[in-house]
Chains A and B, each alone.
Chain A
Amino acid sequence: GENVEQHPSTLSVQEGDSAVIKCTYSDSASNYFPWYKQELGKRPQLIIDIRSNVGEKKDQRIAVTLNKTAKHFSLHITETQPEDSAVYFCAEDSGAGSYQLTFGKGTKLSVIP
């Protein structure tokens, strides 16, 4: 079955620095790779996603890059702020137009003021 490995499990950065979270996947048929943010005690929410026909997508301070050959994708947060502190989950779909998502185990990001 699908497997998504996410690293690191925890990450602390100083406010203003950048944060990078990486995920690797095994299903070559996957073509949709979203990232979800879960603040403490709240529901996960989509923050950015990328599809297999592009290599990079950016939305203000967050960006996602995808390397289909190497089967990995990364979340980049620049100029981090305390409100970026949360658990971030990467995910992949099961390909072939399906939207069953398999999530990584999450990265707890702490932004230190």
Chain B
Amino acid sequence: GAGVSQSPSNKVTEKGKDVELRCDPISGHTALYWYRQSLGQGLEFLIYFQGNSAPDKSGLPSDRFSAERTGGSVSTLTIQRTQQEDSAVYLCASSFSRLAGGRITGELFFGEGSRLTVL
């Protein structure tokens, strides 16, 4: 399978615990995104990694949220001291954002998401 892989697919945790969500992007994709989707809501931007550039963290809702992307590939989103309002589906996406065939392609390929439930 060459798609974006996320784990775990489901996570139930108690309020106050820390959680880590993992994203394995499509090989060769230079851009990686994290979005949050609450029940029936839209896609809320969290953080964006592009190659070796400094990540765009402007969407992180609080300092309890952080993300890393090691070696330009796998990314981990960490939520510390989880709260009930953190319950959502966390979607990762990757993109091949360089010139391809003379055209810059920016299509995002999403993973299946990690559903987080904070009790």
Contacts and interface: CB of A to CB of B under 8 A. Distances in A.
Contacts of B97: 99
Interface in A69-85: none
A101 B45 contact: yes
Contacts of B41: 105-106
B77 interface: no
Instruction: Tell me which of A43, A100, A101 has the highest count of chain B C-beta atoms within 10 A of its own C-beta.
Output: A43
Interface string B88-106: 0001000101000000101
Interface in B13-64: 31, 33, 35, 41-43, 45, 48, 50, 56, 58
A101 B110 contact: no
A102 B108 CA distance: 12
Given A99-B50, A99-B97, A100-B48, A44 B110 contact: yes
Given A99-B95, A100-B48, A43 B33 contact: no
A43 B43 contact: no
A43 B31 contact: no
Nearest to B48: A100
A45 B95 CA distance: 12
Nearest to A91: B43
A103 B42 contact: yes
B85 interface: no
23 contacts: A34-B107, A36-B108, A43-B110, A44-B108, A46-B107, A49-B107, A93-B106, A97-B104, A98-B50, A99-B50, A99-B95, A99-B106, A99-B108, A100-B45, A100-B48, A101-B33, A101-B45, A101-B108, A103-B35, A103-B43, A105-B41, A105-B42, A106-B41
Given A99-B108, A106-B42, A106-B43, 9 more contacts: A32-B106, A43-B112, A98-B50, A99-B95, A99-B97, A100-B33, A103-B42, A105-B42, A106-B41
Interface of B: 31, 33, 35, 41-43, 45, 48, 50, 56, 58, 91, 95, 97, 104, 106-108, 110-113
